[in-house]
Structure 1
Amino acid sequence: MEAPPDNDVLWARALHFQHHDGTPALSGVSLGVREGEILAVSGPRGSGKTTLLRCLSGMIRPQEGEVWFNSVPVHTMGPLSRERLRRDRFGWIDPAPVLVPELNAWENTALPLMLRGTGRRRAKTAALEWLERLDVGDRARRRPHELRQSERQRVCIARALAVGPSVLFADEPTAPLHRADRAQVLRTLTTAARSHGITVVLATHDARTAALADRAVALLDGRRVKTVHLPPVAETTTAAGTAGPSGTEGRAACSLSV
């Protein structure tokens, strides 16, 4: 078993993973992520981006291959050790907001801190600070059902950043947001990551989002490729505050090379 390079906080070699129906999700993917780097994992939907992030974060174990975090072999850890690693060192943002319905916005944001043993007052202060940065400070006492989807997603992003993770895994983190909101939230996320030394692994199928990263790797059908054509996402606004692709603009392709 070969140890990873010293300057890589995350390192993966020859990852293979199949879905339950036998469909390959990853086929021999290898990569390294440097400390403090913002890495975009790009590719169309179904290319294996989410599966790769789930393997790198220890959420699932690859069926073949190795994953290392700070020279520790994640792929040999048991379920409890991987769960502690995710709780103590990693942050995760889903493409759709998932919050505890009984808790208000600041309590949802502070929850991971309190689970780590941070006192309630200190956790609340950190939570409110991040909610303000993400322009939802005035919604801090609202419960999830009282928030728009875009506001709920901002709370999820604040929750992931508040714990000061070593690595933040962001799976299409701005998908529920309007175009203008998306740019502002991404700037907040990337600026916070750089100022706090947080390594970010960002999955996206949007070329504009990938362009904000320090470096990009492209996936297609579960394999790394040199070039992939990513459609810039064009949104149509709905009354609920969510965004979706619109016809002709969404098909305009641009090339991303790595």
Structure 2
Amino acid sequence: MSAAPPDNDVLWARGIVKSHHGTPALREVSIGVREGEVLAVTGARGSGKSTLLGCLSAQLPVDAGEVWFNSSPVHTLGRAGREKLRRERFGFVGSEPQLVPELTARENVALPLLLAGVGHRAAYGAADDWLERLDVAACAKRRPEELIRSQCQRIAVARALAPLPRVVFADDPTAPLHREARDQVLRILTSAARSHQLTLVLATHDPELARYADRTVALVDGRTPVPATAVRRPAAAPVAASH
């Protein structure tokens, strides 16, 4: 087994390969994500962005290569280990809200906190706070079927942020939103990551949205043909490693 990644890389992957039904999606991709960084993964549709986020977030096992989180190997974990990692350390927002239809917006946002053992008052207090930040507090007592798609997406973002995970993965999270709402949600998502010292990995096919990131990595046909591009921003404060 190779050496563990650098201490300041909360996520690190080397030579990862992944195929879907025999079709290559990632071709020996290597990437490092620093603690507290906002990283944008850009590329056209079908370039491998979603697959890369799936492998980094332990949703998909890699076919070959290595994935590390906090200097611990992810690529050797079985299904139960990957599920535990996602539940305890990661937050995820996709292009579809995927809310629990039987629950209200407030209950959806509080759910991951309750599952983690947080008390009801604290869990629902955090849910109310994040619904307010995402400008959907008025939807708190309504179920997904009563809401429009853009409202549901904001609730999904609130749900991902409420537990303050170590890493938030956002796969084209503003797809259901119009331009003004996209900018607002991206500002909230990135500012929340920086203010709470979270790491954010954002996949988008819209290069304009990458301006919210500290650095970008471009994917073309499952490869990273060009170096990552740094964006001039203040460095994030150092964060103590969790145990």
Q: Which has the higher strand share?
A: 1
**Which AA in structure 2 matches 1:3?**
A
**Would you say 1:68 and 2:73 are equivalent positions?**
no
Aligned equivalents of 1:116 and 1:102: distance in 2? Answer: 20
Q: Which residue of 2 aligns with 1:19?
A: 20
Q: Which residue of 2 aligns with 1:198?
A: 198
Aligned equivalents of 1:29 and 1:2: distance in 2? Answer: 18
1:107 deviation in Å? 0.2
**Which AA in structure 2 matches 1:2?**
A
1:47-86 matches, within 5 Å, as 47-86=47-86
Q: Which residue of 1 aligns with 2:238?
A: none
* Structure 1 counterpart SS, 2:189: helix
CA deviation digits over 1:130-152, x for unaligned, max 9? 00000000110010011110000
1:72-221 matches, within 5 Å, as 72-221=72-221
Aligned equivalents of 2:116 and 2:96: distance in 1? Answer: 24
Q: Do the aligned partners of 2:12 and 2:32 also contact (CA within 8 Å) in 1? A: yes
Count matched residues.
Answer: 229
1:2 deviation in Å? 2.3
Q: Which residue of 1 aligns with 2:42?
A: 42
Higher relative contact order (CA 8 A, sep 6+): 2
Unaligned runs of 5+ in 2: 231-243
Q: Would the alpha carbon gap of residues 77 and 205 (structure 1) be closer, same or farther in structure 2, given more than 3 Å must change?
A: same
Identity of aligned residues (%): 62
Q: Which residue of 2 aligns with 1:30?
A: 30
**Which AA in structure 1 matches 2:201?**
V
Aligned equivalents of 1:198 and 1:123: distance in 2? Answer: 19
TM-score (norm 1): 0.87
Aligned equivalents of 1:224 and 1:2: distance in 2? Answer: 22
TM-score (norm 2): 0.92
Q: Would the alpha carbon gap of residues 81 and 257 (structure 1) be closer, same or farther in structure 2, given more than 3 Å must change?
A: closer
**Would you say 1:10 and 2:23 are equivalent positions?**
no
1:257 deviation in Å? 5.5
**Which AA in structure 2 matches 1:205?**
H
Aligned-residue CA RMSD in angstroms?
A: 1.1
Aligned equivalents of 1:225 and 1:179: distance in 2? Answer: 29
Which aligned runs of 4 or more in structure 1 are off by greater than 3 angstroms?
Answer: none
